[in-house]
Amino acid sequence: MAAAVAVAGLEGKVAAWPSAPEDYALKKVIEVQGRQGVACDGVYYYISGSGALYKYALDGTLVASNPKPFEGLELPANHIGDIDVYDGKLYAGIETFRDGAGCNIQVAVYDASTLKYDYSIPWLSASGQKEVCGLAVDRVRGRVWMADWVQGSDLYCYDLKTRRYIGKEHLRPAPRLQQGIYCLDDGRMLISCDDGDADYGQADRIYFCNLHGRDIPLQQCGLPVSADVEVFRDMTDFRKPGEIEGLTQNPETGELIVLSNRGARIELGMPVGFYDGYDREIHEIYIYSPIIKRLISK
């Protein structure tokens, strides 16, 4: 397991946030609207539904929403995946999804204050990306990554400044049914996957890999650089196994935040009824506090 991440802490210290799954304790669960993605800037939670955006205070109070996030797009879209927030902008992986594949894939950028659309970074179809289930901003390198629920073998990288495709990184082994991704500042990528089975009470998982593409050029064609993937955490503390979605971290506290849905039966990505005891699908964010084991003086 990778070493703990050092971040600013209390009283002139640097707290080493743990990186092992047992070093996170479930703090609270908040029900939200939106079933796709979650982001946090330390002041607000941002939630994406398939066709809407929501903004919550940290106590779970809804403070803003955008029920028409596709207005203003140059290319039509009908689906939002996981999201991220950085430097006052909300980044959303969006597409037109039909018949098991996506088109018009793009990184749509919104004003985090108003949730209004600003601009898009267009997808390069020659990259081989078939769909966008979610994205993550690499704050250290000024890049944005997209993941692919359909194919899932690669992560696709774009430069935030030039808004151009940089290249891709190959996942070995590629975890199936990817839903959300998040870049940690130490060079790791967290990947949430809906690879459990709610019918059998089997939990979904979070994986991690090291992004070699942060330190060496990514290949735009041919064999991409590879990232070894490991299991990070089995989400056995969800209230009921269902469908894990996006994930993020509170930059101020180091809390791990994971969105999950429960109650609905899902087949091939589509709801087909409800489990016993449910008449609707419930969307919740699970907030995990890091257990700080040591303090390092500055």
What does the block give as tokens for 10?
């209390």
* 5 band by pLDDT with thresholds 50, 70 and 90: very low
Is it the case that residue 6 has pLDDT exceeding 50? no
- How much is the pLDDT for 13? 35
Distance (Å, rounded) from C-alpha 23 to C-alpha 172?
A: 25
Average pLDDT, the chain: 86
Distances (CA, A) of 69 to 101, 108, 118, 192: 21, 9, 10, 24
pLDDT digits (tens, 9 = 90+) for 199-237: 888 999 999 998 865 555 555 545 567 889 999 999 999
Domain that holds residue 105: 5-297
Q: How many residues does the chain have?
A: 298
pLDDT digits (tens, 9 = 90+) for 105-154: 999 999 999 999 999 999 998 998 988 999 999 999 999 999 999 888 99
One-letter amino acid of 246? G
Distance (Å, rounded) from C-alpha 31 to C-alpha 26?
A: 15
How far from the centroid of its chain's Cα atoms is residue 49's Cα?
A: 13
> Among 112, 73, 111, 113, which residue's Cα sits nearest to residue 94?
73
CATH number, domain with residue 23: 2.40.128.630
Q: What is the mean pLDDT of residues 33-59?
A: 97
To 5 degrees, how large is the angle CA 144–CA 150–CA 152? 55
- Domain count for the chain, please give it: 1
* 185 band by pLDDT with thresholds 50, 70 and 90: confident
Coil, strand, or helix at residue 126? helix
Q: What residues form DSSP beta bridges with 190? A: 182, 208
